[in-house]
C-alpha cells in the first residue's frame, strides 16, 4: 500500500539535481567563512530578501533562536503570538538559553496580532517592575493558523508600531516563499521593514537540510557567533548548501502546485461527514481540520495511519495536513477516499 504522507512538508526529498550538486560541491571550512558554496548560498539569500547579509544554519529553530539571542539581553521580554512556532515548537529555547520572557498575545484567525493590543502590551524598562520589551516576533506563513499569510501592509504596520517603541522585529519566515507565491509578490516585499527574517530550505523547497537568517551585516555577525555557541558550525557545509542553491533557483514557483492540492484536499475533507474545517479559506499548503465527535482524535490517527494516510495530530480532535513536492493531485484523491472510509467507521 502506498503511504501518503501529509504530516509535513519537511518529509520532502531532494531532487536529482540537488543530489548531483551535493556530489560536486566545492567546499571549505565554513566556520572560517571559507566554504565557497555556503558563501554563495548566503549571498543569494541576502539578495532574494534584499538584506545586507545572510547566515546558513542547521534549522529554522536555530535561525529563530540565534535571531532572538542577537537582538535581546537576558531579562528582556519578547512579544509573539500565542500560536507562534517559536512558542509552541522550539523547546522553550528563548527562555532556557536566552533568559528572555515570552509575552504571548492572541493570534487572530488570520494569523495577525491586534496592533492596538500589541502597542498596549509593550513595556518600558524605565519602570523597575517590568522587563523591557525589546523584540517582536511574527510568523509568515503561520503554521498553527493553517498556513495563513501576513500581507506586506500588515507587516509594515506591525513594524511601525514596534519601531516606534524601540523594538526590533524578527520574522519567522519558514515558509515565506509560500506567502510570496500566494500573494504574487517577491518575498523581499514581505520582509522589507523587519530587522531579521529566517526561512527554511527543507520544507516546501525540498532541500534536505537548512535555514537562512537574513538581516543587517552587524546583526548577522552577532548571530554567527551564537550559531557557533549553539553547535551550528558545520565546517564543510557546502555539500548541504549546494542543495539549497538549487532549491532557491528551481523550487519556488512550483509551490503554487502545493497550494492547489491543499485547496482540493480542504474541499474534499469538508465534504466528509464527521470532519470539520474551522477555517476553509486555504491560502497556502496547510490544512487544519477536526474530527468527531463519533471518533476520538487518537482513534482517528491510528486508523488513518493503518490506511496509509499520515496526518499530524495537533492534540484533541485537531489535525494538520500539509501538501508538498511528492504529493500529486492523484494522491489527494486517494487520500480523501481512504480518509472517508476511516471517518465513517
Please report the pLDDT score of residue 125 as a whole number. Answer: 83
Residues 38 and 84 in one domain: yes
Cβ neighbours of residue 235 closer than 8 Å, sequence gap 6 or more? 29, 30, 31, 35
Please report the pLDDT score of residue 315 as a whole number. Answer: 96
Residue 46 domain-assigned (yes or no): yes
Residues 190 and 267 in one domain: no
Cell numbers that stand for 17 in this block: 539535481
Residues 72 and 180 in one domain: yes
Asked whether 269 and 289 are in contact (CB, 8 A), the reply is yes
Q: Please state, as a whole number, how many other Cβ atoms lie within 10 Å of the Cβ of residue 83.
A: 20
Please report the pLDDT score of residue 144 as a whole number. Answer: 97
Residue 142 domain boundaries:
11-250
Please report the pLDDT score of residue 75 as a whole number. Answer: 97
Asked whether 80 and 142 are in contact (CB, 8 A), the reply is no
Please report the pLDDT score of residue 82 as a whole number. Answer: 98
Residues 168 and 33 in one domain: yes
Residues 128 and 260 in one domain: no
Please report the pLDDT score of residue 271 as a whole number. Answer: 96
Please report the pLDDT score of residue 172 as a whole number. Answer: 98
Domain boundary among 192, 222, 250: 250
Residue 327 sits in a domain of what CATH number?
Answer: 3.90.1150.10
3 state SS of 319? strand
Strands 286-291 and 309-310: unpaired
Whose CA is closest to 263, among 175, 200, 342, 336?
336
Domain boundary among 199, 217, 250: 250
Please report the pLDDT score of residue 218 as a whole number. Answer: 98
Please report the pLDDT score of residue 344 as a whole number. Answer: 82
Using CA atoms, how far apart are residues 188 and 176, in angstroms rounded to an integer?
9
Please report the pLDDT score of residue 255 as a whole number. Answer: 98
Residue 70 domain-assigned (yes or no): yes
Please report the pLDDT score of residue 22 as a whole number. Answer: 98
Q: Which helix (H) or strand (E) holds 178?
A: helix 176-183
Residues 79 and 120 in one domain: yes
Residues 124 and 225 in one domain: yes
Residue 207: Cβ-neighbour burial (10 angstroms; 0-12, 13-18, 19+):
buried
Residues 170 and 310 in one domain: no
Using CA atoms, how far apart are residues 110 and 105, in angstroms rounded to an integer?
14
Residue 5 domain-assigned (yes or no): no
Residues 54 and 172 in one domain: yes
Residue 117 domain-assigned (yes or no): yes
Residues 226 and 96 in one domain: yes
Cβ neighbours of residue 295 closer than 8 Å, sequence gap 6 or more? 274, 303, 343, 345
Residue 3 domain-assigned (yes or no): no
* Sites in the chain below the pLDDT cut of 50: none
Domain boundary among 200, 217, 250: 250
Residue 1 domain-assigned (yes or no): no
Cell numbers that stand for 274 in this block: 464527521
Please report the pLDDT score of residue 5 as a whole number. Answer: 98
**Number of domains the chain contains:** 2
Residues 51 and 170 in one domain: yes
Please report the pLDDT score of residue 259 as a whole number. Answer: 98
Residue 123 domain-assigned (yes or no): yes
Residue 4 domain-assigned (yes or no): no
Count of CA atoms in the C-beta half-sphere (13 A) of 60: 24
φ, ψ at 84 (rounded to 5°): -65, 145
Residues 258 and 245 in one domain: no
Please report the pLDDT score of residue 147 as a whole number. Answer: 98
Residue 136 sits in a domain of what CATH number?
Answer: 3.40.640.10
Please report the pLDDT score of residue 27 as a whole number. Answer: 98
Using CA atoms, how far apart are residues 253 and 137, in angstroms rounded to an integer?
27
Using CA atoms, how far apart are residues 111 and 144, in angstroms rounded to an integer?
9
Amino acid at each position: 500500500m502506498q503511504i501518503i504522507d501529509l504530516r509535513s512538508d519537511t518529509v520532502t526529498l531532494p531532487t536529482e539535481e540537488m543530489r548531483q550538486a551535493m556530489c560536486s560541491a566545492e567546499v571549505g571550512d565554513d566556520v572560517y567563512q571559507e566554504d565557497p558554496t555556503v558563501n554563495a548560498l548566503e549571498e543569494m539569500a541576502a539578495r532574494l530578501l534584499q538584506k545586507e547579509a545572510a547566515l546558513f544554519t542547521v534549522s529554522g529553530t536555530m535561525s529563530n533562536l540565534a535571531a532572538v539571542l542577537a537582538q535581546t539581553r537576558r531579562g528582556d521580554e519578547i512579544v509573539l503570538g500565542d500560536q507562534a512556532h517559536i512558542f509552541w515548537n522550539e523547546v522553550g529555547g528563548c527562555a532556557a538559553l536566552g533568559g528572555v520572557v515570552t509575552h504571548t498575545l492572541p493570534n487572530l484567525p488570520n494569523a495577525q496580532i491586534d496592533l492596538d493590543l500589541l502597542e498596549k502590551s509593550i513595556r518600558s524598562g524605565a519602570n523597575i517592575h517590568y522587563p523591557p520589551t525589546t523584540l517582536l516576533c511574527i510568523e509568515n506563513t503561520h503554521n498553527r493558523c493553517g498556513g495563513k499569510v501576513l500581507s506586506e501592509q500588515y507587516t509594515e504596520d506591525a513594524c511601525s508600531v514596534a519601531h516606534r517603541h524601540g523594538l526590533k522585529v524578527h520574522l519567522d519566515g519558514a515558509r515565506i516563499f509560500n506567502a510570496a507565491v500566494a500573494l504574487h509578490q517577491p518575498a523581499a516585499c514581505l520582509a522589507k521593514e523587519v530587522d531579521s527574517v529566517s526561512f527554511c530550505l527543507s520544507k516546501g523547497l525540498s532541500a534536505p537540510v537548512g535555514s537562512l537568517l537574513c538581516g543587517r551585516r552587524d546583526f548577522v555577525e552577532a548571530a554567527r557567533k551564537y550559531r557557533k555557541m549553539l553547535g551550528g558550525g558545520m565546517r564543510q557545509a557546502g555539500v548541504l548548501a549546494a542543495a539549497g542553491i538549487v532549491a532557491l533557483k528551481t523550487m519556488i514557483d512550483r509551490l503554487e502546485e502545493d497550494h492547489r492540492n491543499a485547496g482540493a484536499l480542504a474541499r474534499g475533507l469538508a465534504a466528509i461527514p464527521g470532519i470539520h474545517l474551522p477555517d476553509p479559506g486555504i491560502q497556502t499548503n496547510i490544512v487544519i481540520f477536526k474530527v468527531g465527535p463519533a471518533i476520538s482524535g487518537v482513534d482517528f490517527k491510528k486508523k488513518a495511519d493503518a490506511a496509509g494516510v499520515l496526518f499530524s495530530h495537533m492534540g484533541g480532535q485537531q489535525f494538520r495536513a500539509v501538501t508538498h513536492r511528492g504529493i500529486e493531485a492523484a494522491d489527494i484523491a486517494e487520500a480523501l477516499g481512504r480518509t472517508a472510509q476511516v471517518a465513517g467507521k
